Amino acid sequence: MMNTHDTSYGAMSYGTTVLPSVQERNRVLRNTYWLLALSMLPTVAGAWLGLATGISRAMSPGVGLVVFLVGSFGFMFLIEKTKNSAAGVPALLAFTFFMGVMLSRMLAVVLGTANGAGLIMTAFSGTALIFLGMATLSSVIKRDLSAMGKWLFIGAMMLLVAGIANIFLKSSALMLTLAVLAIGIFSAFILYDLKRVRDGEETNYITATLGVYLSLYNVFQALLALFGLGGNNED
């Protein structure tokens, strides 16, 4: 019979709940950070390809939306299916490449504005600062944040629906409002996902990386909308 405090399996048992050891949690967190950093490379490569070929801008907004939704959810399904195998990391990196290609449409618009490159760097710096802030908070907050999950998910779904609607409404006021809300919601998602890893609630670093990556992607897009497009759109 296994000792209830046997850490040879990287976990400690408390009643019916098995929590990973501190060493195991730190390993998952470390791997998450490394894979998150690695995922930036195919994202940049995908964005460069999209800008160079114009493939994303060549699609109409409706077609682009369908390609984005089918591609992103298809990749996320694949990542979930392969997260415990050797194919998990390549699937995640392929997904981040695809997301970079999709991001190129907005990047091209921002680059067409005054000081576009500077605005992109400002959005990137702001995203990095938000990540560092949320990562720091996740290490000092002691309370359980698991209850945040369902509310953040509801907020994200509402943003998705409103964002799709605004593709056809073309309201700059709504776009900026959604951008501000997205920064708040997905910043909180970063905190939530990292805290789950630290608390031992998420033990798969590929899943953890996917969650944090998507939040960073959405924060960056929202900052681009505020900095790059906010002053260049009128109802």
pLDDT for residue 95 is more than 50? yes
Give me the pLDDT at residue 5, please: 38
Residue 147: predicted pLDDT: 85
Matching residue, tokens 């369908």: 66
14: β partners = 17
Cβ-based neighbours of 131, under 8 Å, separated by 6 or more? 190, 212, 216, 219
Report pLDDT for 229.
67
Count of helix runs (H) and strand runs (E) in the chain: 8, 2
Cα–Cα distance for residue pair 150/153, rounded to 1 Å: 5
Judged on CB neighbours under 10 Å (0-12, 13-18, 19+), 235 is exposed
31-75 pLDDT, tens per residue? 999 999 999 999 999 999 999 998 888 888 888 889 999 999 999
Does 196 or 58 have the greater pLDDT score?
196
Would the pLDDT of 13 be above 60?
no
Encode pLDDT of 101-120 as tens digits.
999 999 998 998 888 899 99
* Overall average pLDDT of the 15-34 stretch: 82
Per-residue pLDDT tens over the stretch 118-176: 999 999 999 999 999 999 999 999 888 888 989 999 999 999 899 888 888 888 888 89
* pTM of the model as a whole: 0.87
Q: What is the pLDDT of residue 3?
A: 44
How much is the average pLDDT of 199-223?
Answer: 95
Would you place residue 232 in the very low, low, confident or very high pLDDT band (cuts 50, 70, 90)?
Answer: low
The most distant pair of C-alpha atoms in the chain lies apart, rounded to whole Å, by 69
Amino acid letter for position 156: A
Per-residue tokens: 180: 């501000």
DSSP secondary structure, 180-221, as one string = HHHHHHHHHHHHHHHHHHHTTS---HHHHHHHHHHHHHHHHH
Residue 188: pLDDT band (50, 70, 90) is very high
pLDDT at 228 over 80: no
- 230: pLDDT strictly greater than 90: no
